[in-house]
């Protein structure tokens, strides 16, 4: 999770919560965070696999 947050320039607290504080997220970043928050554990694992694969490109 830390690697995803680092890639998006956000903290784990922001990733897991809906409060973004002073952080300015783009519309795309907000959509990704919201989509992740709505996934069950298995789908979050799949998402992580996809993100890791994309980071390796």
Among 48, 38, 53, CA closest to 5? 48
In whole angstroms, how large is the CA radius of gyration of the chain? 11
Using a pLDDT cut of 90, give the percent of the chain over it.
28
pLDDT surpassing 70 at residue 38: yes
pLDDT band at 21 (very low <50, low <70, confident <90, very high): low
pTM value > 0.95: no
* Residue 47 pLDDT level (bands cut at 50, 70, 90): very high
Residues 47, 36 contacting (CB under 8 angstroms): yes
pLDDT computed for residue 9 by the predictor = 80
45 versus 23: the higher-pLDDT residue is: 45
Delimit the domains of the chain by residue range. Answer: 2-55
């Amino acid at each position: 999770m830390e690697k995803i947050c680092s890639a998006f320039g956000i903290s784990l607290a922001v990733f897991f919560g809906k409060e973004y504080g002073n952080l300015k997220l783009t519309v795309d970043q907000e959509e990704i965070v919201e989509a992740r928050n709505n996934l069950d554990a298995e789908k979050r694992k799949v998402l992580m696999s996809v993100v890791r694969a994309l980071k390796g490109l």
